[in-house]
Structure 1
Amino acid sequence: MIPSWIIIGAITFCIALGSFFITPRDIKWFAHLSRPRWLVFEPLIPLIWTVVFIGGATSAYVVWQKNPGSLITWLLMALYLLLEIITVAYIPVMLRFRSLKAGEILGLMGLISGVVLAICVLPISGLAALLLLPYLVWTPIGTYTTDELKELNPQDA
Structure 2
Amino acid sequence: MLKSWMIIGGIAFLVALGGSLIRPRDVSWGLRLDRPRWLFFEPAIPVIWTVIFACGAVSANLVWQDEPGTSKTWLLMGFYLLVELITVAYIPVTLRLRSLKVGTVLGGIGVILGTVLALTVLPISGLAALLLLPYVVWSPVGTYTTGQMVELNPDAG
Q: Give the TM-score, by structure 2 length.
A: 0.99
- Name the residue aligned to 1:4: 4
- Name the residue aligned to 1:25: 25
Looking at structure 2, the residues matched to 56 and 92 of structure 1 have their Cα atoms a distance apart, in angstroms, of 21
- Name the residue aligned to 2:128: 128
Secondary structure at 1:60 match in 2: helix
Where in structure 2 are the equivalents of 1:51-70 lying within 5 Å? Answer: 51-70=51-70
Deviation string 1:110-133 (CA, Å, 9 cap, x unpaired) is: 011101101110000000000001
Deviation string 1:22-77 (CA, Å, 9 cap, x unpaired) is: 11111100100111110100000000000110010000000001110111111100
- Name the residue aligned to 1:72: 72
Looking at structure 2, the residues matched to 117 and 35 of structure 1 have their Cα atoms a distance apart, in angstroms, of 30
Identity percentage over the alignment? 64
Looking at structure 1, the residues matched to 30 and 2 of structure 2 have their Cα atoms a distance apart, in angstroms, of 40
Aligned letter for 2:156?
D
Structure 2: gaps of 5 or more residues: none
Secondary structure at 1:17 match in 2: helix
Secondary structure at 2:15 match in 1: helix
- Name the residue aligned to 1:42: 42
Looking at structure 2, the residues matched to 109 and 35 of structure 1 have their Cα atoms a distance apart, in angstroms, of 22
Deviating runs (4+, > 2 A) in structure 1? none
Where in structure 2 are the equivalents of 1:105-144 lying within 5 Å? Answer: 105-144=105-144
Aligned letter for 2:18?
G
Aligned-residue offset at 1:18: 0.6
Aligned letter for 2:65?
Q
Secondary structure at 2:117 match in 1: helix
Q: Give the TM-score, by structure 1 length.
A: 0.99
